[in-house]
Amino acid sequence: MIPAEIRKAMEHQHYKVIGNHSAVKLCFWLKRSMRDEGFCYKQRFYGIQSHRCLQMTPWILCSNRCLYCWRIIEKTPIKIERIDEPKDIIQCCIKAQRLLLTGFKGLDRANKKKWKEAQNPNQVAISLIGEPTMYPKISELIREFHRMKFTTFLVTNGQHPERLKGIEEPTNLYISLDASDRVTYRKLDRPSLPDYWKRLVESLELMNSFSSKRVIRLTMVKNWNMKSPEKYAELIKRANPDFIEVKGYMHVGESQKRLARDCMPLHKEIREFAEKLSKESGYAYKDEQVQSRVVLLSK
């Protein structure tokens, strides 16, 4: 069981805790989409529907303690004794999401057609909190989602390359690349594993073997990691992704306790850095979404 103190803290932040180590939460953009007030940049870039996206994690623990993370990383448990089955996690996540959506049914501003469609999500963002590849049955989880006709976005910090070897390929594989050198990575991502840089580089190289869509995401934190685009380009070359997302850190959630507000870059600063990275990497500008402070580069 997840300790009562942690469960209470997560529920206070509108998570639904699932079983022994999973959770689900309505995405900000899902709620906006339900009111016809916009949609996630993933809908703009990759064609998914925000109101039919299930944002979940099968593992609330993480091997990093990133300063920019908006999650409650300081309060997650350190030991999980019983592993839940993929089918049970998925069924409970869908049921929990339906409960979280209940309030939109009676909301005048809500799009009722979208509300009905949202009862049966067809896209899953396997991220939310924690590190999903730490879940021992992550491959089986992805396979079960695919059996249910979901598209899958797996987001990983790249600290567990052994789990990427032979994994059921997600529709989109994301690897977070938040520093161009090991010193910055250690200070910003605060990894718990001693060979963290070796693990990250190995995951980047493994990405090159995937046939699914591959995305490198750079979370840009002003005064921390918005530097050395040529070094980022060298690492990106190892992964050979289809896309690069250059996204600004947002000063929200628990990250407000760790970083100053001026660490949040303006969109124009993200655009400027993306232009520099484009020149160094050979990836071309493709699209952007100002509200999310994100620029997409493509091969």
pLDDT in tens, the chain (299 residues): 677 888 888 888 889 999 999 999 999 999 999 999 999 989 999 999 999 999 999 999 999 999 999 887 766 656 788 999 999 999 999 999 999 999 898 888 899 999 999 999 999 999 988 999 999 999 999 999 999 999 999 999 999 999 999 899 999 999 999 999 999 999 999 999 999 999 999 999 999 999 999 999 999 999 999 999 999 999 999 999 999 999 999 999 889 999 999 999 999 999 999 999 999 999 999 999 999 999 999 99
Using an 8 Å Cβ cutoff, are 66 and 130 in contact?
no
* CA–CA separation, 99 and 16 (whole Å): 9
Contacts 24+ apart (CB under 8 A), 264-271: 264/222, 265/220, 265/221, 265/222, 265/226, 265/293, 266/293, 267/293, 269/220, 269/222, 269/226, 270/220, 270/246, 270/294, 270/295, 271/295
- Name 147's Cβ contacts closer than 8 Å, sequence gap at least 6: none
Residue 36's pLDDT is: 94
Cα 157 to Cα 180: distance, rounded to the nearest angstrom = 14
Q: Please give the CATH architecture assigned to the domain spanning 4-298.
A: Alpha-Beta Barrel (3.20)
Lay out the sheet containing 213-220: strands in order across. 16-18, 22-24, 53-57, 123-126, 151-156, 172-176, 213-220, 243-248, 294-298, 284-289
**Coil, helix or strand at residue 271:** helix
Instruction: Write down the pLDDT at residue 76.
Output: 62
pTM for the full predicted model:
0.93
From the list 211, 86, 87, the residue with the least C-alpha distance to 136 is: 86
Q: Which parts of 127-176 fold into alpha helices (H)?
A: 138-147, 161-164
Token pair of 71 as six digits:
């999650």
Neighbours of 81 (CB within 10 A): 7
Q: What is the pLDDT of residue 72?
A: 78
